[in-house]
Amino acid sequence: MSARSLWLAFIKRTVNPLAVRSALRGRGPFSIIEHIGRVSGRRYRTPIIVAPVAKGFVAELTYGPKVAWYLNSGAAGGCVLRYRGSAFRVDAIDRLDADAGLRAYGAPRSWILRLLRRHDFLLLHVAGR
């Protein structure tokens, strides 16, 4: 097993459950993406950090564009985002250039994302906006 696989397994079993509980209470920096597995059909909850914008929310893809929640949401035609205790129906997801993504997060979060060389961002369109 690679170091990356071990790290992701560690995150999945330790950090993610804590982040999900915190986000469902509407506390902390995390939000929840609720999506359906494109192969399994199972329901999943994935913690992410988003920035609100006029059309919905901007999400940074920490682990790149092949993460399950993004692929599952695209295959299903959308997902639900739980942000600070409220549920939002995401009806479309578009790639966003790095500059626009970083602007959405604002300082100091954008500074940290720049230092970490993050460049994969998505615009999560909220239905009705």
How far is residue 68's CA from residue 49's CA, in Å, rounded to a whole number? Answer: 16
Dihedral (C-alpha) 43, 47, 53, 56: value to the nearest 10 degrees?
0
Please state which of the four CATH numbers 3.40.190.290, 2.30.110.10, 2.60.40.10, 3.30.565.40 is assigned to the domain occupying 3-126.
2.30.110.10
Q: Phi and psi (nearest 5°) for 82? A: -100, 115
Confidence of residue 105 (pLDDT cuts 50, 70, 90): very high
The arithmetic mean of pLDDT across residues 65-71, rounded, is 95
How far is residue 44's CA from residue 93's CA, in Å, rounded to a whole number? Answer: 18
Going from N- to C-terminal start, the domains of the chain cover 3-126
Give tens-digit pLDDT for 3-62: 878 887 887 788 878 877 888 787 778 999 999 999 999 999 999 999 999 999 999 998
pLDDT at position 31: 95
